[in-house]
Amino acid sequence: MEMSKKILITYATYTGSAETIAGLISSDLESRGFRTSLMPMQEVKDISSFDAVIAGSAIHSGKWLPEAFDFLELFRDQLLTRPFAAYLVCMTMAMKKSEKYLQFVSDFMIPVRQIVTPVSEGHFAGKLEIRRLPSLSDKIKFRISVAAGIWKEGDHINRMEISKWSESLSHIL
Ligand SMILES: Cc1cc2nc3c(=O)[nH]c(=O)nc-3n(C[C@H](O)[C@H](O)[C@H](O)COP(=O)(O)O)c2cc1C
C-alpha cells in the first residue's frame, strides 16, 4: 500500500483569515487520506520531509505579506522540486465577481509566479474586522473604504470554494 503523502500547509496572516483557510484545507485533505502539517511561514525550518507544499498569504496593498516572500525566497530551490500550490486571501474577492476583478486579483500573484510557479492557485475572500486591526491609520483607512461602499466588513470566507480547491488539489499533489 502506498504511504499517505505528507503535505505542508503554511500561511502568512495579519488578522487570521489565511490561517482559518489553511485549517479548512488541512481538514479537507486529511479526510482524503493525506497527512498535513499546519504552520505559520516564519516557523518553517525545513521542508525536505514534505511531498508537497501549499502556501497562502493575506494580501496587503496588492501583494502577499513580506514574510511570505521571505519564505518563497528561502525555500525556492526545494519548492521547485515538489508540487507547490499557492493561495491568496483578500477583500477584492468579496466584491461582485466580474471578469475585471478576477483578473485584477489574479495579477496579485505575478510576483509569486516569478519566484516559483504554483501548480494551482486559490484566490479567496477573507474577513475584514476593522476593530481588530492593530494600527490606527489602518482602522481609519478601512472605515473610510467601508463608508464609501468599497469594502464590506465581516467574514467573507467561503467554505464551499475552499473545499472545491482542496478537492482539486487532492488529484494533483
Ligand atoms: C493594511 C491592509 C491592506 C490591505 N490591502 C488590500 C488590498 O490591496 N487588496 C485587497 O483586496 N484587500 C486588502 N486588504 C484586505 C485583506 O487582504 C483581507 O482583509 C484579508 O482577509 C486579510 O487576511 P488575514 O486575516 O489573513 O490577515 C488589506 C488589509 C489590510 C489590513
Q: What's the pLDDT score for residue 10?
A: 98
Q: What's the pLDDT score for residue 132?
A: 87
Half-sphere exposure of 161 (CA within 13 A, CB side): 15
Taking 80 as the threshold, does the pLDDT of residue 3 lie above it?
no
Please give the grid coordinates belonging to residue 150: 468599497
Mutation to probe ligand 1, out of 91, 95, 96, 109 (largest number of atoms < 8 A from CB) = 91
Task: Tell me the Ramachandran region of residue 152: left when phi exceeds 0, alpha when psi lies from -120 to 50, beta otherwise.
Answer: beta
133 pocket-lining for ligand 1 (C-beta < 6 Å)? yes
Burial class (CB within 10 angstroms; exposed 0-12, middle 13-18, buried 19+) of 61: exposed
Pairing between β-strand 52-60 and β-strand 63-64 as defined by DSSP bridges = antiparallel
CA distance 11 to 171: 22
Residue 104 lies inside a defined structural domain of this protein? yes
Mutation to probe ligand 1, out of 128, 152, 157 (largest number of atoms < 8 A from CB) = 128
**Residue predicted with more confidence, 145 or 25:** 25
Residue 143 lies inside a defined structural domain of this protein? no
**What pTM was computed for the model?**
0.95
**pLDDT, tens digit, for every residue of 105-155?**
999 999 999 999 999 999 999 999 899 888 899 999 999 989 988 888 999
104 pocket-lining for ligand 1 (C-beta < 6 Å)? no
Q: What's the pLDDT score for residue 158?
A: 96
**pLDDT, tens digit, for every residue of 48-87?**
999 999 999 999 999 999 999 999 999 999 999 999 999 9
Q: What is the mean pLDDT of the chain?
A: 95
Taking 70 as the threshold, does the pLDDT of residue 1 lie above it?
no
Count structural domains, the chain.
1
- For residue 103, what are the domain limits? 6-127+155-172
**pLDDT, tens digit, for every residue of 89-111?**
999 999 877 888 899 999 999 99
65 pocket-lining for ligand 1 (C-beta < 6 Å)? no
Q: What's the pLDDT score for residue 81?
A: 96
Residue 145 three-state SS: helix
CATH number for the domain harbouring residue 62? 3.40.50.360
138 pocket-lining for ligand 1 (C-beta < 6 Å)? yes
9 pocket-lining for ligand 1 (C-beta < 6 Å)? no
Q: What's the pLDDT score for residue 2?
A: 60
Pairing between β-strand 154-155 and β-strand 127-128 as defined by DSSP bridges = antiparallel
20 pocket-lining for ligand 1 (C-beta < 6 Å)? no
Residue 29 lies inside a defined structural domain of this protein? yes
Residue 166 lies inside a defined structural domain of this protein? yes
Ligand 1: which residue has its CA nearest to atom 9?
Answer: 62
Residue 136 lies inside a defined structural domain of this protein? no
Please give the grid coordinates belonging to residue 6: 505528507
Residue 98 lies inside a defined structural domain of this protein? yes
15 pocket-lining for ligand 1 (C-beta < 6 Å)? yes
Q: What is the Å distance from ligand 1's center to 90 Cα?
A: 5
Residue 148 lies inside a defined structural domain of this protein? no
Q: What's the pLDDT score for residue 173?
A: 93
Residue 149 lies inside a defined structural domain of this protein? no
CA distance 60 to 26: 24
